[in-house]
């Protein structure tokens, strides 16, 4: 792709920091891990941070450490990355899919109560595309029904809800640092929590079920190799040092897209601001107007790719994935999820995206949307999209 969908932003100082680690005897579980964990905890405002090998690993450790197991139900959105449901299935728990709000694409809190049963153990809330979910309502529902709350903040580092950074509001929060994220460690993630006992268990599970207080070959329970290397942490430290500049730049790019696309017919643009929240821009996702079909969206995506411009379908609903069609069935309709997902298109979005590239993306997109409108009969509209 001439203009990729995403690209990491690595500076020379960060490359040097990684190289410096290779000249030490500490390549895992060393001082860079401790420094990275301290810096994440300080930035998020959490009491404890545990560095892990990926966001998926972090979510799995939270589910396991909170005692969520066979037959337990966890409320989740279907409009998100599949790992949210996968980590529940690892523990033989049941994802209960709840629909989303049309504007923010986050969990629709008005639908959560109807999804709660005696088997419900937790709500796994996703801050979709870096926009904070309705945490006050979710936390109140969880308190009244004695449910755990796990924040999937993998797309949302630096996002804020009522002046506090997301991730530290619930029982635990998880961040991811894959190369397409706001900051990267290459592969990696982090669990944050204000519960020291939960932190200790996550930390032990990360390292083959071995607590810090025990011998290297003494294992209190079955655990995992979810460690993150010192090299990953060195890169993460450098990236975190300039996170505010990165977030500012990504907001600038989002506003540049908004300015160019606001007059492009038949597009619904993402909200630039939400009251009492700070968006941490992970991706820039537009939606085609209601009369468009999924087929037309897919044609636009393929044509953009053919022209050397990366685009993505964010997200394909989990409950419609082949791996999940025969595992769980939504108890309530997911009309907004299905309607929005069929019309979403993620545009190239990364720190180093240039003005000329934004111009090219927008020019081609507007041209193709106009062409697609004539390509096939209009898609059937649905309520709530």
Cβ pair 348, 5 in contact under 8 A: yes
Sign of CA dihedral 228, 234, 236, 240: positive
**Helix 230-241, helix 12-21: angle, nearest 10:** 150
Helix (H, G, I), strand (E, B) or coil at 359: helix
Sign of CA dihedral 206, 207, 209, 212: negative
Task: Please calculate the CA angle 272-275-280 and round it to the nearest 5 degrees.
Answer: 50
Neighbour tally for 244: CB within 10 Å: 11
Active site residues: 181
Cβ pair 148, 142 in contact under 8 A: yes
Rounded Cα distance between 125 and 135, Å, is 8
Q: Which two tokens stand for residue 72?
A: 């337990």
Cβ pair 219, 210 in contact under 8 A: yes
């Amino acid at each position: 792709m001439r203009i990729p969908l995403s690209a990491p932003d690595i500076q020379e100082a960060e490359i040097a920091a990684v190289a410096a680690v290779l000249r030490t005897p500490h390549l895992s579980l060393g001082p860079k891990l401790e420094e990275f964990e301290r810096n994440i905890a300080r930035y998020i405002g959490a009491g404890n941070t545990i560095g892990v090998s990926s966001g998926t690993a972090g979510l799995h450790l939270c589910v396991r450490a909170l005692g969520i197991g066979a037959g337990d139900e966890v409320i989740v959105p279907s409009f998100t990355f599949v790992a949210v449901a996968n980590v529940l299935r690892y523990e033989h728990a049941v994802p209960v899919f709840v629909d989303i709000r049309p504007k923010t694409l986050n969990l629709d809190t008005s639908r959560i109560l109807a999804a709660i049963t005696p088997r419900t153990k937790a709500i796994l809330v996703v801050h979709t595309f870096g926009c904070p979910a309705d945490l006050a309502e979710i936390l109140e529902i969880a308190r009244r029904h004695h449910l755990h709350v796990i924040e999937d903040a993998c797309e949302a580092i630096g996002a804020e809800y009522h002046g506090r950074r997301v991730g530290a509001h619930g029982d635990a929060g998880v961040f991811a640092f894959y190369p397409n994220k706001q900051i990267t460690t290459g592969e990696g993630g982090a669990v944050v929590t204000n519960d020291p006992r939960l932190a200790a268990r996550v930390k032990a599970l990360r390292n083959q079920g071995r607590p810090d207080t025990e011998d290297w070959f003494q294992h209190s329970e079955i655990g995992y190799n979810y460690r993150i290397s010192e090299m990953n942490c060195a890169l993460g430290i450098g990236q975190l040092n300039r996170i505010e500049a990165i977030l500012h730049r990504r907001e600038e790019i989002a506003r540049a897209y908004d300015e160019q696309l606001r007059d492009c017919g038949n597009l619904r643009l993402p909200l630039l601001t939400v009251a009492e929240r700070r968006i941490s821009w992970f991706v820039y996702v537009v939606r085609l107007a209601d009369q468009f079909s999924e087929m037309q969206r897919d044609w636009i995506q393929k044509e953009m790719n053919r022209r050397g411009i990366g685009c993505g379908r964010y997200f394909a609903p989990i409950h419609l994935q082949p791996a999940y069609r025969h595992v769980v069935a939504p108890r309530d309709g997911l009309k907004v999820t299905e309607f929005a997902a069929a019309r979403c298109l993620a545009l190239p979005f990364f720190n180093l995206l240039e003005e000329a590239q934004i111009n090219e993306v927008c020019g081609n997109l507007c041209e193709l949307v106009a062409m697609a409108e004539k390509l096939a009969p209009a898609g059937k509209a649905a309520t709530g999209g």
